[in-house]
Amino acid sequence: MRRSPLVALVLTTLLLVTPSTARAAVPDRAADAAATLTGVRTAGTAWGLDPATGRMTLTVDDTVAPSELAALRTTAERAGVLLRREPGTLRPLIAGGQGIYGGGARCSLGANARSGSTYYVITAGHCTTAAATWYADSAQTTVLGTRTATSYPTNDYGLIRYTGRIAHPSAVYTYPGLLTIHGPGTAYVGQAVCRSGVTTGVRCGTITGLNQTVNYATGVIYGLIRTNICAEPGDSGGPLYVASTGTILGILSGGSGNCTSGGTTYYQPIGEVLAAYGLTLP
């Protein structure tokens, strides 16, 4: 992510108020900054509160043109937010290859969920937009199921209803092995987490932000979890989970960077998906 501190301006403002006034002013400044950043629609940007600094942060990837960057810098200065550069490209992580397959797309299964006796795959919405029928193998001979819902953009989740005979335990594949999933969890900043995906396997790190907004070239996604875990195309839709408790926190939407040099990833909270469709994790 990127750096343009604006420290002198912030310190000048803080020195002009009493401690009690400062405490009241911080939420107002954050709300004002959020109101300004809501209008940012430049592809390759993300924004949200950075818990490490307590300030709103506007992140810019390598695809943002110099003219766009200059405009975003002006916006950041006007809103009093940090502007940070992040190497790579913010994109939904989808590719051809192994995993769950639909059309020419490859993604990762996020969670097995159910409504009564009907079972579903939860994965990323930018994945389920790619095809109506999904398969469990790259040759597309083993039917997984049929897409029944997609919410993308704004959100990034979709459902595939199981129609094939393939087993679907409540578990995360940990390359190798299975971790039993007992239910959903709630994310918090600093939480130790892992994610699993077909391209890069299991990778672990920490949650670095909540309620993040990401501007992909294909649309804006709101309310995401941010981590310092890397991912690559094909990992999309895979679960963000806590190994010690067997709980799923979210499903991978996208990110920037890679698993050679490192990266940042964003996740759709699982609780929102379950509530939207009336599902439970078995």
Catalytic center residues: 126, 156, 236
C-beta of residue 84 within 8 angstroms of C-beta of residue 6: no
Partners of residue 240 on adjacent β-strands? 195, 250
Q: What φ, ψ does residue 76 adopt, rounded to 5°?
A: -65, -45
Q: Residue 174 and residue 281: Cα distance in Å, rounded? A: 18
Which strand (E) or helix (H) includes residue 145? strand 143-151
* Sheet hosting strand 143-151, strand order edge to edge: 105-107, 100-102, 133-135, 143-151, 157-162, 118-123, 111-115
Q: How far apart are the first and last CA of the chain?
A: 37
C-beta of residue 142 within 8 angstroms of C-beta of residue 135: yes
Residues 6+ apart with CB under 8 A from 129: 150, 152, 158
The tokens for 50 are 């950075």
Q: What φ, ψ does residue 195 adopt, rounded to 5°?
A: -135, 155
